[in-house]
């Protein structure tokens, strides 16, 4: 069953959940079953405060993007985006791509979606040499289900494997999307972003 159907089916239980139900009478010291990485990412990403929009095809992606623009009144605004392939796919919305100064939002792909902490892995391929605090407060990230990895280390290995002649610099993660939560000492120095994830099924 696809991620989309699992998320929308309130009666769905993963195989791991069913096994856990059957073994509920076992000792409390029994090791906890591991979730599949897509379910783990979805849970942790939402827990971090991210806005998650799952789509099965590009028509649904474009419709969801249009709804985001409408919700935030971002039509005819400057958008910071350095990915030409991305700007060509989303060129019908009267946006001024490439502007970084007073951009309404940052629009980008990513390197990976990290399951074990619900973070987004970015590099200079998406943000050049800018720090997260230098980017707009609002993010819209377009990615695919094949980008979901279990750990940051796995995401870094993919970057290295895909970069034969040039390894991207400025590799960073963002995982704080809940703008109104009270900060704890673990959050100091991190940049909170209002983030939408457009996730396209490609598996």
Q: Quickly state the pLDDT bin for 183 (edges 50, 70, 90).
A: very low
The pLDDT of 141-160, averaged and rounded, is 95
Q: Quickly state the pLDDT bin for 190 (edges 50, 70, 90).
A: low
Query: Long-range CB contacts (< 8 A, 24+ apart) of 63-68?
Result: 64/198, 65/90, 65/93, 65/140, 65/198, 66/93, 68/140, 68/196
Q: Which of 29-33, 181-185, 192-196 has the lowest mean pLDDT?
A: 181-185
Tell me the per-residue pLDDT of 121-139, one tens digit each, with 9 for 90 and over.
999 999 999 999 999 999 9
What domains are defined for the chain?
33-177+192-200 (3.40.50.10420)
The model's pTM is: 0.80
Tell me the per-residue pLDDT of 50-101, one tens digit each, with 9 for 90 and over.
999 999 999 999 999 999 999 999 999 999 999 999 999 999 899 999 877 7
């Amino acid at each position: 069953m696809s991620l989309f159907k699992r998320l929308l089916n309130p009666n769905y239980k993963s195989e791991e959940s069913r096994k856990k139900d059957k073994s509920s009478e076992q000792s409390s010291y029994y090791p906890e079953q591991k979730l599949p990485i897509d379910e783990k990412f979805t849970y942790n990403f939402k827990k971090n405060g991210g806005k998650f929009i799952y789509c099965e095809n590009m028509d649904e992606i474009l419709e969801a993007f249009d709804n985001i623009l409408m919700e935030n009144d971002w039509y005819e605004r400057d958008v910071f985006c350095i990915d030409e392939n991305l700007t060509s796919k989303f060129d019908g919305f009267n946006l001024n791509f490439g502007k970084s100064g007073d951009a309404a939002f940052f629009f980008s792909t990513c390197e990976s979606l990290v399951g074990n902490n619900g973070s987004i892995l970015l590099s200079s391929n998406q943000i050049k040499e800018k720090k997260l605090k230098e980017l707009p407060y609002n993010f819209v990230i377009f990615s695919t289900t094949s980008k979901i990895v279990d750990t940051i280390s796995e995401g870094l290995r993919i970057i290295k494997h895909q970069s034969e002649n040039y390894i991207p610099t400025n590799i960073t993660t963002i995982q704080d999307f809940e703008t109104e939560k009270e900060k704890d000492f673990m959050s100091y120095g991190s940049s909170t972003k209002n983030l939408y994830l457009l996730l396209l099924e490609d598996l």
